[in-house]
Structure 1
Amino acid sequence: MGEGRGARPGRRSEVRGQADRRQAQAVGELSVASVASAAPSRWRRGEGLRALVWLSPWLAGVSIFFVYPLLATVYFSFHHYDLFTLEWAGLDNYRYLLRDPRVVTSARNTLWLVAVMVPVQTLFSLGLAQLVVRLKAGVGLFRTIFYLPSLVPVAAGTITFVFLMNPSTGPWNQFLALFGVTGPDWFGDPAWSKPSLTLLSVWSCGQIAVIFMAALLDVPRHLYEAAAIDGAGPWRQFRSVTLPSIAPVLMFSAVTGVIYAVQYFAQAMIASRVASGATDSPGSSFTPGYPDESLLTLPQWLFQAGFRDYQMGYACVLALVLFAASMVFTLLLLWQFRRSEGAT
């Protein structure tokens, strides 16, 4: 009994020693694991910093040329600003936007261009590309010919086109007269001015047509062969094979076309000035959108407000409207595209 009682403290110390050793081993394993996990964490931080360094030029460009101008536009939209004095205006510029009759006119003309000019230009470019790729020879030559008008500067191309459509001396009306057709006053009649701009966009659609040609040539031939074996005719092959295959290119054409139409400025401004006979000489006056504001677009009215009337605050409001319109149209097109992809 005495010996048993005397042995217990030794056993306890041995048990305590084993527990201490196990605890020390666990602490060592934990420290090794923490060191091992810290190494990848440091490596990941280093990789993140390296990626940030490589992205820094792009981030700087976006910040300087997009984020800052956008924030500055929002800031100035709440002020009366004439390039010299800056005065707080609150929501006055936005209230005037709702009362400005020229905004309604220019927005209606811009929507017309989006709804008519973009589909016509896209369909004509696609049809032209479809015809060219079916040629057995001379594809490169025709591709170059159709692309050449896109290389002409906007001002020179627009002035040339307006002179071609001149009702008195233009060759187009003279050509129509050979068939007993009296040509209209293309850019002088409000009913024909916007269709004339649509013809101008068709005349310079070579760039989009070349993109469609590349997309059509990229469609696998065996898909057409399989469709022909199933008894599909040309129209069904186009609808079931061609359109799904070039859908991303169609989407790209639609989005860029809508953004281009919303920002339509140079062609409409130059065509109006040339058709009205206005010059830049002192004392001459010019009302944007000639004839009868039928060619007045939102970018033109923005230019008039900002750089003619020096209402920079109100021009910033119009710029935000253009930005919002472009975003809405783009998001709607992307949503429709993804919806159609999900349906197929």
Structure 2
Amino acid sequence: MALLTKTSAPESGAQKPRPRAKKYNRREAIAGYLFISPWIVGFLIFTLGAMVYSLVISFSNYNLATNSATPAGFDNYAELFNDPKVGLSLGNTLFYAVLAVPLEIVFALFLAMLLNRVGRGAGFFRTLYYLPKMTPAVATASVFLLLLNGNTGAINKALAVIGIQGPQWLIDPNWVKPSIVLMTLWGVSGTMVIFLAALKNVPRDLYEVASLDGAGPIRQFFTITVPMISSSIFFNVIVLTIAALQVFDQAYLLFWRDQTNASPESSLFYGVYLFQQAFRQFNFGFAAAMAWLLFIIILLITLVQVKFSNRLVYYEGDK
């Protein structure tokens, strides 16, 4: 019995935390919350507060010009299914996302792999490739208006040198969305930097072993590089998809900033039409309903991507 009593005594490692340790942890937590309090306040006011307010006005007929609001129930949401431009703009946006996201991933990964092979002068080339990301959107749009001009643009002149007649990028409805994709690829360097960081973390030993086994560069790319950076690919796909579904500035600056009705319908993206309803028609209730519809679509697409990622994405902690 004495032996049983002795062995059942609590071990020294299972002692309760000292009051002084609890006090220190509490002070450390308070200091951490104080440091991030500006972000918390900004999020509560400008993000969460704005979302709640937009949800409220989506159930009303709110006119910014007269600053008046009347209850509308679900009329704004019902109008989403009756307005043909909502379906048109949503279809244009989804088509653009399907076209732009894979091209951005491939182009950014290609640039990252080039930079990963550069030895001397790598910092210079990284800076050079990142400069387009720092260019203001208005300046970029002005340049591409000149480049994509169907008659005098530099792109069509370059195509003419090799015997190809370039299209009317800004007029032909079939080439409107590809022209916006080209403008989007100009700022792909942010994605490139993420891929470059991921490539730097791939162990070189894996490539050496694969070379000894006779694997060529293409085999190494698909069996080593892609699986090892799959988490970065997944992250970029999520971020780029969300950005593509919210595309606004490229289409607006190229086709809609002159406030005319001459722009082709294929350039009417969901974000542009939402902007028109809110800040030209002053129909904020309907615009808020459009915003919440887009939020639900983005949420569903993201959940599907996360669901499929469990089978395709490799994390370093996985075994």
Q: Which band: TM-score by shorter chain?
A: 0.7 to 0.9
Which segments of 5 or more consecutive residues in structure 2 lack a partner in the other structure? Answer: 1-15
Kindly provide the CA deviation profile for residues 36-92 of structure 1, in whole angstroms up to 9, marking residues without a partner as x.
Answer: 999699859956983785364443232112221111111100000002111000111
Q: Tell me, in whole angstroms, the C-alpha distance in 1 between the residues paired with 2:219 and 2:25.
A: 55
Q: Partner of 2:73: helix, strand, or coil?
A: coil
Shift in alpha-carbon separation, 1:203–1:307, aligned structure 2, 3 A: same
* Residue number among 46, 50, 56 corresponding to 1:65 in the alignment: 46
> Residue 315 and residue 219 in structure 1: after superposition, are their counterparts in 2 closer, same or farther (change >3 A)?
same
Give the match for residue 306 of structure 2.
334
Distance 1:40 1:338, change over 3 A: farther
Amino acid across the alignment from 2:305: L
1:303 maps to which residue? 275
1:156 corresponds, among 135, 139, 142, to 139
Residue in 1 that maps onto 2:219: 236
Deviation at 1:227, TM superposition (A): 1.7
User: Matched residue pairs, number?
Assistant: 298
Deviation at 1:185, TM superposition (A): 0.3
- Equivalent position of 1:50 in the other structure: 30
5+ residue gaps, structure 1, are 1-35, 279-284
Q: Partner of 2:288 in structure 1?
A: 316
Task: Give the AA of the match of 2:124.
Answer: L
In the alignment, the residues of structure 2 paired with residue 81 and residue 169 of structure 1 have an alpha-carbon distance, to the nearest angstrom, of 46
SS of the residue aligned with 2:133?
Answer: helix
Q: Pick closer, same or farther for the CA change 1:91–1:219 going to 2, 3 Å.
A: same
1:76 to 40, 50, 57: 57
Greater Cα radius of gyration, structure 1 or 2: 1
- The aligned residue for residue 261 of structure 2 is 287
Residue 174 of structure 2 corresponds to 191
Partner of 2:150: 167
CA distance in 1, matches of 2:122, 2:23: 54
Could you tell me how far 1:262 is from its partner in structure 2?
1.0
Task: State how 1:206-245 maps to structure 2 within 5 Å.
Answer: 206-245=189-228
RMSD between superposed Cα atoms in Å: 2.6
Q: CA deviation at 1:115?
A: 0.8
Cα deviation, residue 152, structure 1:
0.9
Match of 2:9 in 1: none
C-alpha distance in structure 1 between counterparts of 2:108 and 2:309, whole Å:
20
The CA deviation string for residues 144-191 of structure 1, in whole angstroms up to 9 with x for no partner, is 222121111011101211211111221221222222221110111100
Distance in 1 between residues matched to 2:149 and 2:130, nearest whole Å: 24
Distance 1:109 1:141, change over 3 A: same
Structure 1 length normalisation: TM-score?
Answer: 0.79
Distance 1:140 1:188 in 2: 40
Aligned residue identity for 1:266: D
Deviation of 1:268 after TM superposition, in Å, equals 0.3
Cα pair distance change 1:64/1:233, threshold 3 Å: same
- For 1:239 and 1:211, the matched residues in 2 are separated by 19
- Structure 1 residues 57 and 106, CA gap change in structure 2 (3 angstroms): same
Counterpart for residue 4 of structure 2:
none
Q: 1:51 to 1:149 in 2, by over 3 A?
A: closer
**Does residue 177 of structure 1 match 2:160?**
yes
* TM superposition shift of 1:273: 3.6
Alignment pair present for 1:95 and 2:78 = yes
Tell me, yes or no, if structure 1 residue 120 matches structure 2 residue 103: yes
**Larger mean Cα displacement after TM superposition, 121-130 or 175-184:** 175-184
**1:111-150 equivalence runs, <5 A:** 111-150=94-133
Amino acid across the alignment from 1:73: S
Inter-CA distance 94–44: structure 2 relative to 1 (3 Å threshold): farther
Q: Evaluate the alpha carbon distance shift between residue 46 and residue 178 of structure 1 in structure 2; reply closer, same or farther with a 3 A threshold.
A: closer
State whether residues 76 and 286 of structure 2, in contact with CA within 8 Å, keep that contact through their aligned partners in structure 1. Answer: yes
Q: Which moved further from structure 2: 231-240 or 99-108? A: 231-240
Give the 3 Å change call, closer, same or farther, for CA 231–42 of structure 1 in structure 2.
Answer: closer
Select 1:270's aligned residue among 237, 253, 270. Answer: 253
Q: Does the C-alpha gap of structure 1 residues 244 and 41 become closer, same or farther in structure 2, counting only changes over 3 Å?
A: same
Residue 205 (structure 1) aligns with: 188
